[in-house]
Amino acid sequence: MGRDDDVAAWAAHDLGRVIVSADEVAARVRELGREITRDYEASPPLLVCVLKGAINFMSDLMRAIELPVEVDFMAVSSYGAATKTSGVVRIVKDLDVDLADRDVLIVEDVVDSGLTLNYLRQYLGARSPRSLEVCALLLKQGEQRVEQDLKYVGFSIPSDFVVGYGLDVNERYRNLDAIYTFVGEV
């Protein structure tokens, strides 16, 4: 356990064990930033943050990349208030910039069934980017219903529902620095 992993009293009731500590997240994000810097040196990417879950990851990752990246945001909704995917993806906020001939890197919080990402890839792929890749902080082991081709993955984790570092349940717990299992009532 590193800094800020001791669960604050206001959250302790609903949280189980630490899945990824704040220090582990920080170290891995620095590594990913180095890899992306190296891989995209010739052509700095457009980072597309998938709101809201990827906000913490995006914020740290973009500062770990030593290139003139651009950033944009989109919001999708696939879960409603429950902890299992409905399989139905809705675009809540679309991008502001044109993707034609851009090297686009989707920044996602977690790939669970993969349905959200599948939908996003098709949706964004139709706009003629030069390349379209994915950087996912978390990949849930054995849960993908469709084969996923992820260029960067932070951590492979068990299939428990997790919160913290951007990930929520009913919009709460995004403001924790570590990632924990959620053991409360939904």
Token duo for residue 26: 């920080």
Q: Do strands 46-51 and 90-93 pair parallel, antiparallel, or not at all (unpaired)?
A: unpaired
- Binder of ligand IMP out of 39, 59, 72, 85 (CB under 6 A): 85
Which segment (47-55, 69-77, 131-139, 147-155) binds Mg ion by CB under 5 A?
47-55
Binding mask 88-107 for ligand IMP (x = CB under 6 A): --------------------
Q: Out of 115, 132, 134, 176, point to the residue binding ligand IMP (CB under 6 A).
A: 115
Q: Among residues 35, 39, 41, 94, which one has the least CA distance to residue 61?
A: 35
Alpha-carbon dihedral sign for residues 168, 172, 178, 179: negative
Print the binding letters for residues 133-172 with ligand IMP: x by CB under 6 A, - otherwise.
Answer: ----------------------------xxx---xx----
Strand stretches in 85-149, DSSP E: 90-93, 103-111, 131-140
Q: Choose from Mg ion, ligand IMP, none: what does 161 bind? Cβ within 5-8 Å by kind.
A: ligand IMP
8 A C-beta contact, residue 99 and residue 128: yes
Binder of Mg ion out of 44, 45, 53, 166 (CB under 5 A): 53
